[in-house]
Structure 1
Amino acid sequence: MSRIVTLTTDFGLEDEYVGVMKGVILTRAPEATIIDLSHGIERQNIHQAAALISSAYRFFPAKTIHLVVVDPGVGSSRKLILLLADGHLFMAPDNGVLGPLLEPEHFQAAYEVQCEQYYLQPVSPTFHGRDILAPVAAHLAAGLDPAAVGPALSLQALTIPARPALKIDRRQLTIRGEITGKDHFGNLQTNIEAGSLNALYGEKISSLRVLVRGETIIGIQGAYAHKDPGEILAILSSRGVLEIAVNQGNAAMFLDAGTGDKVTVKMPKR
């Protein structure tokens, strides 16, 4: 039975890295279906990758294998892990990139990847995605029991990173968050979730003020086209978070903004 393997990396597409990972997988699991989720993650941006994979995996069938390689600590003592969560399999470095899935309601099991018999030899200290994660993912796609990859890990043994700062002041009706990344269009993703906005403001979101990089944006729009071309706007993205965008433009360039920049949402003064 063919299994789906998704790939999420910060490799870009200029070099051979993504292609050779696919070659390694297909050599060992020729019936696997490989799906590129993204190779445009900002370099070493663990939070952006975490937001992407935690949003995207639910659109795939159960037992899909999700391979995430955003690995600033490659070659160090950090672990490589296989996580079973919500009926899916996730392979990644244990650096917090799977943080949103490390909650009791999602977690099923986890294993440290130590099955050297499945590695591509010799293992490069700079490319564990190719030499360890890809071949092990291929064997999983071909039917390997997840428990065979290595010793079991408890939820408490896994790395849960400090999440981007989010402060909700219910008395002042203010939410303070930050930008976690940008997409291909220059739209800026934040860590302010739609649920937090709805819980604090209800139906008043159309009159909110969003402050970012000295710009004040009035209201949260229902569609990009609700603003004229070239105008900046705030919108709830398809990922379910507050997004800063420019209709038919590039918000990251317009604001000279990027990961870590602060975003404030508040009610207007009466």
Structure 2
Amino acid sequence: MSEYQIISFLTDYGLSDGFVATCHGVLLGISPGVRLIDISHVVPPQDIRTGARLLARVTPYLPKAIHVAVVDPGVGGQRRPVAVDTARGLFIGPDNGLLSWAVEAAGGALAAYELTNGKLFREPVSRTFHGRDIFMPVAGHLARGTALAEVGPEISTGSLVALPAPVERLEGGELHSEVILADHFGNLHLASAVDRLDSFSLSVGDPVVCVTPAGEHRATYVEVFEEVPLGELAFYGDAVGQLTIAVNSGNAAERLGVTTGEVLRIRIAP
């Protein structure tokens, strides 16, 4: 029996078209005893960086598992389908950078394999639905006990596609930090960790200025939302220790007019 009895699943498939249920069905048809954890299926379409960030934020809190992730604008093209072995489990998906941050968070790749063994695929293989026909079937067979080496040839871990690190630097007395996630509430999670504030001698209750392409916005450094009035901007450390901008009972992404990938500048208010 395989050591993997849990499979996590992340995609940009959405929830209205049955794609997720189809993949669930294929998996359970191969390995009916496996337990499924859905991470998210509302990653913005083709947004590899957001998918990579969610995968890296969530999988450290999951049991050792097979993690299947599919945000795959190059499906059917030249990108490789891969399985990456780590100390925290196996990561299966397209080799387009989607897996890279989660693999790094898991301690790095121990080995990597290109998925080429058609005996483990669902036939016929669609050119546009590899989640159903390649990634989930391979995960199912591995959960049943198929050896990892049987999925295809081992490849160099150094050849795996890695996304560039998010922008995060101190410059001219300001913190430049990329928005790595605009969550369901509109909270803007930044690439910078809370300890970056050591350079500013910032205390709870102090005001800061957040500079966006649209202008300057005043926020307050807080520990909890209620430390600012309703509708006001809060600057705080999120549950994984990243700096975040939110609106108390509001939507910071809409208020500031920014989203994932944009770089904000933070400085102490005069």
TM-score of the superposed pair, with normalisation by structure 2: 0.90
Q: CA deviation at 1:205?
A: 6.7
Structure 2: where are the runs of 5+ without partners? none
Structure 1: where are the runs of 5+ without partners? none
Aligned equivalent of 2:181: 181
CA distance in 2, matches of 1:188, 1:117: 44
Superposed, 1:80-91 pairs within 5 Å as 80-91=81-92
SS at match of 1:219: strand
Matched-pair contact (CA < 8 Å) for 2:220–2:228: no
Matched-pair contact (CA < 8 Å) for 2:57–2:102: no
SS at match of 1:36: strand
Matched-pair contact (CA < 8 Å) for 1:220–1:236: no
Q: CA deviation at 1:161?
A: 2.0
Superposed, 1:1-270 pairs within 5 Å as 3-62=5-64, 64-103=65-104, 105-169=107-171, 172-195=172-195, 197-201=196-200, 204=203, 207=206, 208-212=208-212, 213-269=214-270
Stretch of structure 1 that moved more, 213-222 or 66-75: 213-222
Stretch of structure 1 that moved more, 239-248 or 126-135: 239-248
CA distance in 2, matches of 1:148, 1:68: 20
SS at match of 1:258: coil
Percentage of pairs with the same residue: 34
SS at match of 2:60: helix
SS at match of 2:146: coil
CA distance in 1, matches of 2:70, 2:201: 38
SS at match of 1:107: coil
Instruction: Give the aligned residue type for 2:186.
Output: G
Q: Deviations over 1:104-147 (max 9, x none)?
A: 94221111111110111111111111110010011111122212
CA distance in 2, matches of 1:113, 1:184: 34
Stretch of structure 1 that moved more, 26-35 or 257-266: 257-266
SS at match of 1:180: strand
CA distance in 1, matches of 2:201, 2:140: 46
Q: CA deviation at 1:75?
A: 1.1
Q: CA 1:17/1:210 → structure 2, altered by over 3 Å: closer, same or farther?
A: same
